Chain A
Amino acid sequence: EPEVTQTPSHQVTQMGQEVILRCVPISNHLYFYWYRQILGQKVEFLVSFYNNEISEKSEIFDDQFSVERPDGSNFTLKIRSTKLEDSAMYFCASKRDSGDEQYFGPGTRLTVT
């Protein structure tokens, strides 16, 4: 069964460094999302992407964040200058054009020191 994949599974970085989190959505899906979950807290929406552009973003998704779909398969989240409070699990999700379910990847645990 097709699934969303994410790399790396764990990323440790120093404050102020740039990180790129990578996702490969399910191949026939057209909607892509990034969510994050700070340890012990609920899952929060960051950004959605459709038709090669951002369709919605939350107030968390400030100028430090950006997303790209550089080719037909990858979907990336870049954090330009990481802060301690960016430490969280980052989930990529995708959804096909019809249907309602968003399928989540296994997540990337980002630790900012």
Chain B
Amino acid sequence: AQKITQTQPGMFVQEKEAVTLDCTYDTSDPSYGLFWYKQPSSGEMIFLIYQGSYDQQNATEGRYSLNFQKARKSANLVISASQLGDSAMYFCAMRASHNQGGKLIFGQGTELSVKP
């Protein structure tokens, strides 16, 4: 069965510091994609970063980077230089299919609070 696990219901970080949000996944499909989305209190889902299972390099997008450890089946999100606007719910998701149009399976989310 395909599954995404986020074990941190809530995290706190001081402004300007880095924070790592954990995500582990389970799939038997050799081809898959991993995603992170941000959900602010307003409710929308904002795409942050994507990592393909065959990508050799860890994905980076500005202050976001994805620490992809394939053998451990983990895809942790690292946010550098946290800002107050980073306070939000963060969801890890997986597309567990070679079909690029496949559905996303989401984790339970981690609520990040950035302290001034």
Q: Which of A13-21, A66-74, A78-86, A101-109 contacts B (4 or more CB under 8 A)?
A: A101-109
Evaluate contact between B43 and A31: CB separation under 8 angstroms.
no
**Total residue contacts A-B, CB cutoff 8 A:** 60
Given contacts A31-B101, A48-B101, A106-B43, contact A100 B95 (CB under 8 A): yes
Given the interface contacts A45-B104, A48-B103, A55-B101, does A106 sit within 8 Å of B44 by beta carbon? yes
Give the nearest-CB partner of B34 in chain A: A100
| Interface residues contributed by chain A, number (CB under 8 Å) | 28
Assess whether B64 is interfacial by the CB under 8 Å rule.
no
In contact, B44 and A107 (Cβ under 8 angstroms): yes
Complex: chain B residue closest to A98, CB-CB: B100
Known contacts A31-B101, A100-B33; is-contact A44 B45 (Cβ 8 Å): no
Closest 6 CB pairs of A and B: A104-B45, A45-B103, A43-B106, A31-B101, A106-B44, A42-B106
11 A-B residue pairings within 8 Å (CB atoms): A42-B107, A50-B101, A55-B101, A56-B102, A91-B45, A100-B50, A100-B100, A101-B47, A104-B45, A106-B44, A109-B43
